[in-house]
Structure 1
Amino acid sequence: MKFQLKNTIVVLALTALFVSCSNDDDSSSVVEGTTGDVELYFDNGVAGDALILGNTYTNSNNESLTINRLNYIVSNFVLIKEDGTEFTYPKEESYFVISEEGDLLTVHLEGVPAGDYTKVKFGIGVDQQRYLQGESEQQSFWDLAVQHNLTWTWSTGYRFINFEGTYTSSAVEGEKTFQVHQGSNSATDNYREVTLILPTTARVREDEMPNIHLKTDANVILDGTNKIKLADNINEAQTGSAIMGGENLISIAENTLQMFTVDHVHNGSHTGHRE
């Protein structure tokens, strides 16, 4: 009798576990025609260390940079499923400022079709198609970019990256200022796009919002595939280095293709997630 009772309890427990697992599977299935949200969190760092404004970091160029500003524009988000199906976020809503000093670190995408996504693609900066639509078509984003020092004049357009601070180098005497303002100009289009593979599938559901945690490495701006020394760009007055045009910006644009990696994906509720 006791043996039968124990067997009955085991069967009931296994049945409950099976039903529970089945319910979990059912709740995570894709309901056609529904949408959800996706959040991307940009975690800024420098060569594996957290970026703390005012801290000093030494790169492989033997230059020590004290970083006071890192702001940049990300745009044109596309989510890609395993079978290659793409969802392109509406272009007029797909431009965002990431600012370490302004504590703008999150991109929130709404109305994404429910599905399982394995890649994310986005631009660094503002593409020429959008820019050439004119100021009136992008006034609200232009105003936001102005607030975060990510514009020149309208005729010269956006700064895609604003990277500033001070530095020391054995090649110059004393501490100097530096400014790296990456953008397009009349000679070159320095807008770039990156595609990143997600280590875990991002499940978009009505009641489930994936948070894609990206790592941004500011070090590669000057110390990536292309090595750019600030000391080689010092001004005539020997007060600082400013990189705002020429071949260096093309090299920096290529470096930024290695600037972003996906750390992890958290599939959870609509409360957001940062860790």
Structure 2
Amino acid sequence: MKTFKNIALTLLSSTLFFACSSDDDNNTSTAKANANVTFDARVGSADFALDTPYTINGTSYQFDGLRYWIGNVEFVNANNETVAFEDSYFLMEETKAVAVQEGDFTYPAKKRETFGLNNLPVGNYTKIRFTVGVDAVYNDNLSLQAGELSQLNGMTNISWMWHTSYIFSSLKGKNTASNQAITVETGLNANYRTVEITLATPFEVKANQVNTLGLNVDVAKIVDGIDLAATPTVSASTPTVMTAVANNFRDKVFSVKSVE
């Protein structure tokens, strides 16, 4: 009888252990964490700062503002499964104060290089995807809101189309030698771009810690291949050049800085 009781207790203990282990496994597989994504603006190897001269393609420039929309962030894990943060829009910027609505409102000077994402499942991620710009659903109808989209941030333009639409990216400054002002902007639905970056070192997201993925943003690459002396203002009136800038954002501007 004692042997039978011992066997029964052993089986019961094993059952309880298995149940607890299964619960732990389930909790681990469904655990969520918070993550930060940082976009570190640079000019080549130098840190980007306003009112600071930089030599780009043999010409000296200094800048008054850098602004661009990052949206629809996705992470791809080691199993090729995608975690999507749909309708997530973040305005990344380093800018002086911006007059909005013909000066009726002033958007304050601001520097913002990081945004946070909540409830990212723990695990290893091998790719990040995001868009530069605003997708057609929101770009064609500014009464719809998602993420940080707003008409009060000075990132809309009524002159590009028959209705107001968003400016996707904006780089403003001047040629320091000639004092020629430069404005390099993208917009319009055709210039909405998706960026995909493969991470050589997986982004390991763990619970109960700060998880940070750092990306470099090379401002010089925004105007790579662009003759700013010939086209100091890039806008819808220069569609070929605007498309080239949009492609630069997709193909050249972003790279991995750090995975923590």
Q: TM-score, normalised by structure 1?
A: 0.73
**Deviation readout 1:61-99 (Å, 9 max, x if unpaired):** x3221111111111110001122111011x23x100001
1:127-206 alignment, distance < 5 Å: 127-132=135-140, 134-138=141-145, 141-143=148-150, 146-147=152-153, 149-153=154-158, 155-168=163-176, 174-184=178-188, 189-206=190-207
Aligned mates of 1:104, 1:130 — CA distance in 2: 22
Q: 1:32 to 1:140 in 2, by over 3 A?
A: closer
Q: CA-atom RMSD, angstroms?
A: 2.2
Say whether the 8 Å CA contact 1:41–1:211 is kept in structure 2: yes
**Corresponding residue for 1:243?**
234
Shift in CA distance, 140/198, structure 1 to aligned 2, threshold 3 Å? closer
Q: Would the alpha carbon gap of residues 38 and 139 (structure 1) be closer, same or farther in structure 2, given more than 3 Å must change?
A: closer
Q: Is contact 1:115–1:203 with CA below 8 Å preserved after alignment? A: yes
The letter of the residue matching 1:176 is: Q
Could you list the runs of 4 or more consecutive aligned residues of structure 1 that deviate by over 4 angstroms after TM superposition?
none
SS, match of residue 156 in structure 2: coil
What letter matches 2:233 in structure 1?
Answer: A
Determine if contact 2:129/2:196 at 8 Å carries over to the other structure.
yes
CA contact (8 A) 1:30 1:115 kept: no
| In structure 2, C-alpha distance between the alignment counterparts of 1:118 and 1:178, rounded to whole Å | 37
Corresponding residue for residue 98 of structure 1: 92
- What residue is the counterpart of 2:36 in the other structure? 39
Q: In the TM superposition, what is the alpha-carbon distance from 1:131 to its structure 2 partner? A: 2.7
Structure 2, gaps ≥5 residues long: 1-23, 96-109
Distance 1:140 1:121, change over 3 A: closer
1:253 aligns with 2:246: yes
Q: Against the structure 1 CA distance between its residues 120 and 30, is the aligned structure 2 distance closer, same or farther, given a 3 Å change threshold? A: farther
Q: In structure 2, do the counterparts of structure 1 residues 30 and 214 end up closer, same or farther at CA, with 3 Å as the change threshold? A: farther
CA distance in 2, matches of 1:260, 1:140: 22
Q: Secondary structure at the match of 2:66?
A: strand
From the superposition, tell whether residues 196 and 128 of structure 1 become closer, same or farther in structure 2 (CA, over 3 Å). same
User: Is the 1:114–1:203 Cα contact (8 Å) retained in structure 2?
Assistant: yes
Secondary structure of residue in 2 paired with 1:44: strand
Contact 2:53 2:176 in 1 (8 A): no
Aligned to 2:214: 213
* Aligned equivalents of 2:227, 2:61: Cα separation in 1: 11
* Partner secondary structure for residue 135 of structure 1: coil
Q: Aligned in 2, Cα 1:139/1:109: closer, same or farther, shift over 3 Å?
A: closer
- Distance in 2 (CA, whole Å) between partners of 1:126 and 1:249 is 15
Contact 1:161 1:183 in 2 (8 A): yes
Alignment TM-score, normalising by the size of structure 2: 0.77
Q: Aligned with 2:28: secondary structure? A: coil
Q: Alignment identity in percent?
A: 25
Give the drift of 1:54.
Answer: 0.6
Q: In 1, Cα distance between the equivalents of 2:64 and 2:115? A: 22
